[in-house]
Chain A
Amino acid sequence: MSRFQSIEFYQRPTTPYQLLPFRFTQLNERGEYVVTNLAGEHLVLQGDQLRALVRHELPRTSPDYQDLRARHFLYDDSSKSALDLLALKIRSRYRRLAEFTGLHIFVVTLRCEHSCPYCQVSRQTEDTEAFDMSRETADKALEFVFRSPSPAIKIEFQGGESLLNFDLIRYIVERAESINYEGKRNLQFVIATNLAVVTDEMLAFCRDHRVHLSTSLDGPQDLHNRNRPRPGKNSYERALDGIERARRIVGRDSVTALMTTTAGSLDRVREIIDTYVGLGFTGMFLRPLSPYGFAVKTNAIAAYSADRWVKFYRDGLDYILSLNKAGIPFREFYTSVILKKMLTSDDPGFVDLMSPAGIAIKGIVYNYDGAVYASDESRMLAEMGDQTFRLGSLASDSYEDVFLSDALLNPLEESFAGSVPMCDECAFEPYCGAEPVFHHTVQGDFVGRKAESSFCRRSMAVFRHLIELLRSDPDAKRIFLRWANR
């Protein structure tokens, strides 16, 4: 008996096959569809091929048939292990869910010496009593941190300007290291700071305790300084000086930067990217403007629509790809997250693109006053007077009270994309997120009507663009594969 099937076997025009679960969504106006399976693997099919597939009329000799079988959209008598393999990939994809909360944000102060119009939370005050976190509150927050089963714990310090309460940061870092001495989890620290008030002594502490710095950089000097007013009108100069000293004292890779997108950014994406490249950063995050806090009050969010941001993103990504093709390695981080979800069986656990939503179960916020919020956006919403995502208080509630609260479980359950209208049948669902806080803010509902959701519109446009690039540009595909597999 031969070890191989006869050539006739492979040439049979049709063969019985079974469908495996998959979703499809129209990709473009050319009649092409994206299909994704339960593990998030995708293919692009012509409409007539899709219909033939579902009607069991796809010939075995079709190239699409081989791809569909290899990627677990169908199985036949020669692919008996398809179900096991697909189950294994799904298992890999969701494995981090059981790890639970890894990111713990400590809002150590609301005080800030900047007065950025889009900032949701900061206070211009010298009143340390009213807006700084106390050691007692920090100790209670640390108890919550180490109740998490996560093998990797990241403690992030936020503000206001977090360095205005550096004494507390120092206390928390040393206390957390001491608690972790026995458990030996992967413990990391990040300070989110504009670097305007950073001293060499603070930087030396960061070096000694391997504390990472995440700063704000909105682009060229005039744009950055207009976005971020402070006494002296020198936010940009201070940031650059801080970056230079941080690299010198803490280490070359010790500081990363985040931009805030404003209406003034939209026509200047190349200049913004050039600023990052010129300062030696290896990547950046083309972020949309959030709908929270002062951003809403000042109508900044209305200044540009989701479509306008998508153009900004696409122009920026095109430019970043051209830099890479010219030999300058530089990544766009939002794209990298999506590509990892699209091209690997791994899920990087990016809070905005998770379902179940990442609120609290991926990242949680301990506010300066002891309030516990489901996410950074949740505390910004609270500053606008909406306490929907306030999960409890460190002063009066236990870990169980917080994580089993209706304020957390209701939005998690209701917004689960696998059972939300439109998301449940969307081919992009494996790459997307539930975003209950966003939809509650904009539509007053944890789920929201997706046809009217700017988050959905924006995300779908990005997914479609990346899939088109993967198909049409072999160089972009090579670059994307590198980003996805980092």
Chain B
Amino acid sequence: MPKSRSLTVDLTVYSLDCIKRSAYRFTDRFAFDLKIDGNAALCTLSFDAKASDQVMDHIVASFQKELLDQDLRATIRTETKEVRNLILAHAFSRTGLIGDEPFPVD
């Protein structure tokens, strides 16, 4: 019989994308189920039947820390999106690898 832990995440604090990205990192440790109720994300983490309470507590705590990290990553992604595209366009300019540019002859 699998064991499970439930967790409610406030969607005004963390995005759904953050929650899913966090859960994905733990696919080797629990199965994940998610239900939305207004601004609450109801998360169910299902563990192997052999998992101890101590192990489950540790993993739930790690999952909560991962939410913080994912939130930080989302901030970086949003803030640097434009400059990222600019840098990459510059890096690959005149290589012949980008769309309508001619291949350099020299």
Instruction: Using CB atoms and an 8 Å cutoff, list the residues of chain A in contact with chain B.
Output: 18-24, 26, 38, 50-51, 54, 83-84, 86-88, 90-91, 94, 97-98, 421-422, 425, 449, 451-452
Contacts and interface: CB of A to CB of B under 8 A. Distances in A.
19 contacts: A19-B76, A19-B79, A20-B87, A21-B83, A21-B87, A22-B76, A22-B80, A26-B69, A83-B86, A90-B87, A91-B95, A94-B92, A98-B96, A421-B21, A425-B21, A425-B73, A449-B28, A451-B24, A451-B28
Q: Is the interface of B mostly helix, strand, loop or mixed?
A: helix
Contact of A422 (B24, B76, B86, B96): B24
Interface string B10-51: 000000000001001111110000000000000000000000
A26 B69 CA distance: 9
Interface string B53-86: 0000000000000000100110110011001101
B1 interface: no
A90 B76 CA distance: 19
B75 A83 contact: no
Given A19-B79, A54-B75, A425-B21, A87 B87 contact: yes
A422 B84 contact: no
A403 B31 CA distance: 39
Contact of B90 (A19, A24, A83): A83
A90 B91 contact: yes
Contacts of A94: 91-92
Contacts of A38: 84, 87-88
A23 B74 CA distance: 11
A94 B97 CA distance: 11
Interface of B: 21, 24-29, 69, 72-73, 75-76, 79-80, 83-84, 86-88, 90-92, 95-97
A87 B90 contact: yes
Nearest to B29: A451
Nearest to A97: B97
Contacts of A86: 87, 91
B80 A20 contact: yes
Given A19-B76, A19-B80, A20-B80, A421 B87 contact: no
Contacts of A91: 91-92, 95
A83 B83 contact: yes
Contacts, number: 69
Given A18-B83, A98-B95, A425-B73, A90 B88 contact: yes
Instruction: State the 3 A-B residue pairs at the shortest beta-carbon distance, nearest first.
Output: A87-B90, A90-B91, A21-B80
Contacts of B87: 20-21, 38, 83, 86-87, 90
A459 to B, nearest CB: 15
A318 B4 CA distance: 42
Q: Which of A22, A84, A87 has the most CB of B within 10 A?
A: A87
Nearest to A93: B91
A87 B88 CA distance: 7
A88 B91 contact: yes
A54 B76 contact: yes
A84 B25 contact: no
Contacts of A20: 80, 83, 87
Contacts of A97: 97
Contact of A452 (B28, B69, B84): B28
Nearest to B75: A54
Contacts of A88: 91
Nearest to B97: A98
Given A22-B76, A50-B72, A83-B87, A422 B97 contact: no
Nearest to A37: B87
Given A18-B79, A421-B24, 9 more contacts: A21-B80, A24-B72, A38-B87, A83-B86, A83-B90, A86-B91, A88-B91, A451-B24, A451-B28
Contacts of A19: 76, 79-80
B76 A21 contact: yes
A449 B26 CA distance: 10
A83 to B, nearest CB: 6
A455 to B, nearest CB: 13
Contacts of A451: 24-29
Nearest to A86: B87
Nearest to A457: B28
Nearest to B80: A21
Contacts of B27: 449, 451-452
B34 to A, nearest CB: 16
Contacts of A83: 83, 86-87, 90
A433 B88 CA distance: 20
Contacts of A51: 72
Nearest to B86: A83
Contact of A87 (B24, B29, B76, B91): B91
Nearest to A22: B76
Contacts of B73: 23-24, 425
B94 to A, nearest CB: 9
Nearest to A92: B91
Q: Which of B69, B76, B80, B88 has the most CB of A within 10 A?
A: B76
B26 to A, nearest CB: 7
Contacts of B88: 38, 87, 90
Contacts of B97: 97-98
Nearest to A84: B90
A282 to B, nearest CB: 35
Nearest to B65: A26
Q: Which of A21, A94, A97 has the most CB of B within 10 A?
A: A21
